[in-house]
Amino acid sequence: MNGIKLSNQQPYAYFSLEFYDMANGIKGAGGLGILAADTRRIAESLGLPFVLVTPFYRREMHQSMVDGEQIETWQTRRPEDFGFQKVADFKINCAHRRTHKLDIYLKTIGSTTIFTMGSDDFGELYAGEMSGDGRLLQQASLGFAGWRALRKFGASPSVVQMNEAATAFAAVAWLDELVTGGMDLTAAVRFVRKRALYTNHTLVQLAESEYTMKQFEKIVLPNIQSRVVWEFVRSMFSRDNHIKMSTLTIELSGKRNCVSKLHAKVADYHDLMGRKVKFAAVTNGIDIDKWALPETLEKYRATGILDDKNRVGKVVPLEPVDIRKFKAIGRTKLNEVLKNRVDQYGQPVQIPADAFLFDFKRRFADYKRPWLPFTDLAEIKNILIENDAYYILTGKAFLDDKVMHDKMQQLLRTIDGDAELKKRVCYIQDYDEELAIALSVGSNASINVPIVGWEACGTSWEKDIINLDILISTNDGGVADVAAKSYLRVDGKNEAEELASLYKNMRQSIQIWRNDDELSKILHAQLLDYLPTISGPRMMGDYLQLFEIVLK
Ligand SMILES: *Cc1c(COP(=O)(O)O)cnc(C)c1O
């Protein structure tokens, strides 16, 4: 036993530069932020003492399409409008006695608290260049001001989870407090390591941004009080005076994890001694309360498939009549949402109640291959036309992902150039949580085809399984956690084979939907294989177990 316990005074603290939860007014870019928000929701439903620290970006990105091209537009958000209370303002110190004022806000929800911070010139999420001063200032703000805010308002964290390396300054601030308070460096480092967890979502350390000694001297050093701690940080720079944030998280954490079993195997990270870093696997789960169709969830509860905290009981088969009922309700909900949304031409669309619907809903990143089904136009057209089927695409490209901006435009032009395809394939603008839910409840089969080995976990497919979609997927990310044959697997030795496999599975999913027994069988098998993975309490329990804390 290591004696680590959680209480209201000593909560579980979670730092994340991204948070994605519109109900709380903060909209991240994708999976990393969704995970942070769901983790807080799961902690709340379990009654765990939990504090989350994250920036409040007052500039929020929205997407609109002009001639197939993604144009970014911006909306202003204010923490006050989402129930946050301003409790303090702090200064982040920069070189030459310059300071940067940050407002600190707080909101308590059940057993959890969100600390958030920002200012008018804080910038948007992922503002500026990858290794630029602006990013470093955001990261320093989160770590140093976030830590001070926690301490000032009563919390003395039992454990700190760093959701990605960008949050490393939380651990540096903790170390600085201990050393300034009189603990010697070695003991302080040991203390922090025992209680700090680094959660990695990236595959290769090489792909991460780096900062220079000059940038650290300007933006980080002025926020560290102890000379000894600064020397310790300085000692981690490379010979050419660069540092990666993951070097800090690796050196300051005793627990490290990746977000699926496959990811933990393939992530390639090294510590300062050049030793390969071992990662535990804690696969991302989701907050089922947030993502599941309420009617379906009620059925899961009534049959004992899930208990009231979304712990998995006995997975029993669902009646085809119920499945079809839930999907009909889901389709109506989807069409409700689509009334207020527009396609690539700025027009709202509706999907006929009895038509088969495929969807691809996730960030437009090249490795996720949104374009894959449109490689053989004759074939995709046949599948859709012969079966009266539709295909919805949605997802944003990262601001600076020029390749994907171009590929998206190319794809939309291809669709535009074909009258038949244009009738059955649409792209819905400005992908967000509302669309994610609407599509998982309202479509029949979802398509998830990352290049194998590239997806850290993915959670969209979990939303689909819980909402009784047939999953058509490559065996990657969290999908590969289970040696499962339940979903329709896309495989092949090369892309051409994978494409053939994808088309075969698309046809098969339509056949399955026509047959009650087949439909009930595959959806039951998917739930049986993946519900334990999807379950939020399973994820939270895995995290607590890293610290030998038992979830009751
Ligand atoms: C679930 C969700 C994600 C996560 O997507 P993955 O590609 O599965 O990691 C991203 N964005 C939104 C809006 C979501 O709802």
DSSP string across 388-441: TEEEEEE-PPPTT-HHHHHHHHHHHHHHHT-HHHHHHEEEESS--HHHHHHHHH
Instruction: Name the residue of 437, 460, 462 whose CB sits within 8 Å of the most ligand 1 atoms, as the mutation to test its pocket.
Output: 460
Dihedral (C-alpha) 217, 257, 451, 486: value to the nearest 10 degrees? -160
Which range of residues forms the domain containing residue 180?
Answer: 12-58+69-284+539-546
Assess if residue 7 is contained within a domain. Answer: no
Assess if residue 309 is contained within a domain. Answer: yes
Q: How far apart are CA 244 and CA 212, in angstroms?
A: 9
**210 and 326 housed in the same domain:** no
**277 and 294 housed in the same domain:** no
pLDDT of residue 404: 92
**269 and 366 housed in the same domain:** no
pLDDT of residue 298: 98
Burial of 219 per CB tally in 10 Å (0-12, 13-18, 19+): buried
Which residue is it, tokens 């040991």? Answer: 190
| List of E strands, 155-266 | 159-163, 196-200, 210-212, 242-244, 255-258
**445 and 311 housed in the same domain:** yes
Atom 9, ligand 1: residue with shortest CA distance: 458
- Low-confidence residues of the chain, pLDDT below 70? 1
CA of 19 relative to ligand 1 center, distance in Å = 12
CA of 317 relative to ligand 1 center, distance in Å = 28
Within 10 angstroms of residue 297's Cβ, the number of other Cβ atoms is 19
Separation in Å, CA 206 to CA 209, 268, 279, 399, 416: 8, 9, 17, 21, 39
CA of 458 relative to ligand 1 center, distance in Å = 7
Instruction: Name the residue of 360, 366, 459 whose CB sits within 8 Å of the most ligand 1 atoms, as the mutation to test its pocket.
Output: 459
CA of 433 relative to ligand 1 center, distance in Å = 8
CATH code for the domain of 493? 3.40.50.2000
Assess if residue 3 is contained within a domain. Answer: no
The sheet carrying 445-448 orders its strands as 425-428, 389-394, 356-361, 445-448, 470-473, 488-489
**335 and 249 housed in the same domain:** no
Q: How far apart are CA 269 and CA 249, in angstroms?
A: 11
**135 and 273 housed in the same domain:** yes
Atom 3, ligand 1: residue with shortest CA distance: 31
CA of 293 relative to ligand 1 center, distance in Å = 17
Write phi, then psi, for 412 (nearest 5 degrees): -70, -30
Q: How far apart are CA 377 and CA 539, in angstroms?
A: 41
Assess if residue 64 is contained within a domain. Answer: no
Q: How far apart are CA 361 and CA 372, in angstroms?
A: 14
CA of 533 relative to ligand 1 center, distance in Å = 16
Q: How far apart are CA 320 and CA 524, in angstroms?
A: 11
Assess if residue 551 is contained within a domain. Answer: no
Q: Would you say 441 and 503 are in contact if contact means Cβ atoms under 8 Å apart? A: no
**250 and 298 housed in the same domain:** no
445: region left, alpha or beta (phi > 0 left; psi from -120 to 50 alpha): beta
pLDDT of residue 321: 98
CA of 26 relative to ligand 1 center, distance in Å = 15
pLDDT of residue 51: 97
**44 and 176 housed in the same domain:** yes
Q: How far apart are CA 425 and CA 339, in angstroms?
A: 17
**295 and 276 housed in the same domain:** no
| Axis-axis angle for helices 536-546, 31-46 (nearest 10) | 90
Q: How far apart are CA 19 and CA 116, in angstroms?
A: 10
Q: How far apart are CA 48 and CA 149, in angstroms?
A: 20
Q: Would you say 353 and 457 are in contact if contact means Cβ atoms under 8 Å apart? A: no
| Residue list, ligand 1 pocket, CB within 6 Å | 30-31, 34, 362-363, 431-433, 436, 458-460, 463
Q: Would you say 258 and 267 are in contact if contact means Cβ atoms under 8 Å apart? A: yes
3-class DSSP state for residue 267?
coil
Ligand 1 atom closest to Cα of 462?
8
pLDDT of residue 1: 66
pLDDT of residue 258: 97
Assess if residue 1 is contained within a domain. Answer: no
Would you give the DSSP letter of residue 144? I
User: What pLDDT, in 10s, does the model give residues 2-40?
Assistant: 788 999 999 999 999 999 999 998 888 889 999 999 999
Residues with Cβ within 8 Å of 474's Cβ and at least 6 positions away in sequence, in order, are 448, 449, 450, 451, 452, 489, 490, 491, 498
Assess if residue 4 is contained within a domain. Answer: no
| List of E strands, 184-324 | 196-200, 210-212, 242-244, 255-258, 280-281
CA of 459 relative to ligand 1 center, distance in Å = 6
Q: How many domains does the chain have?
A: 2
pLDDT of residue 465: 98
Q: Would you say 25 and 77 are in contact if contact means Cβ atoms under 8 Å apart? A: yes
pLDDT of residue 207: 79
**251 and 324 housed in the same domain:** no
Task: Please provide the DSSP assignment of 338-394 as one string.
Answer: HHT--BTTS------TTSEEEEEES---GGG-TTGGGSSHHHHHHHHHHTTEEEEEE
**316 and 460 housed in the same domain:** yes
Nearest C-alpha neighbor of 257 from the set 201, 205, 203, 204: 201
Ligand 1 atom closest to Cα of 460?
8
**252 and 301 housed in the same domain:** no
Atom 10, ligand 1: residue with shortest CA distance: 30
Name the residue type at position 434.
E
Assess if residue 430 is contained within a domain. Answer: yes
